[in-house]
Amino acid sequence: MLLSSLRRARVLQLTLAVIKPDAVAHPLILEALHQRILENDFLIVRKKDLIWRIGDSERFYAEHEGRFFYQRLVEFMSSGPMRAYILAREDAITRWRELMGPTKVYRARYTSPSTIRAQYGLTDTRNTTHGSDSEESAKREIAFFFPEFSAEQWLEE
């Protein structure tokens, strides 16, 4: 009842969160990250375990084509299972990015040691999690991972 009124009032924002292959490879880290999502009052709208082909990584990260880390990034993202979530809460996009911390793991460890990337990240590429960075990218990325999902329908449910 409460949930449906929050949805209808458009208080809940949706974001896409991904646990990358470096973290999914370690069941305890995967579980810790799942708990972290729940502890931070995110509602799990959808959850999916999947493996990308290299072409999926290339399409998803097309904006980074030509950067020095691009090849490393696309190979890493298709190197093993990932877990994708559609998460909802107030300010979901910002809150999830705050929890993840800075892109670069060593910067994260120095500036924000309690963040996910600081605690679990291995390198600047193998940095544990992804999160959409704007409403526009959340829409695009949710459609990329969950093509069958309709935000409009979910908000009306």
Binding site listing for ATP: 20, 69, 97, 103, 117, 127
Distances (CA, A) of 120 to 33, 35, 149: 10, 14, 30
Residue 88 Cβ, how far from ligand ADP at the closest point, in Å? 20
Q: Are 103 and 124 in contact (CB under 8 A)?
A: yes
Active site residue 64: no
Would you say the C-alpha torsion 48, 18, 62, 152 has a positive or negative sign? positive
Minimum CB separation of residue 4 from ligand ADP in Å reads 32
CB nearer to ligand ADP: pick between 56 and 133? 133
Using CA atoms, how far residue 29 sits from 23, 34, 126, in Å, is: 6, 9, 14
* Minimum CB distance to ligand ADP smaller for 83 or for 130: 130
Residue 4 or 123: the one with the smaller Cβ distance to ligand ADP is 123
Nearest-angstrom CA–CA distance, 122 and 105: 7
Minimum CB separation of residue 39 from ligand ADP in Å reads 21
How far are the Cα atoms of 6, 68, 87 from residue 73, in angstroms, in the given order?
37, 9, 24
- Give the binding site for ligand ADP (CB under 6 A): 69, 73, 103, 124-125, 127, 130, 133
Which of these is catalytic: 26, 34, 64, 130?
Answer: 130
Q: Report the distance separating Cα 94 and Cα 147, nearest Å.
A: 23
Could you list the active site residues? 130
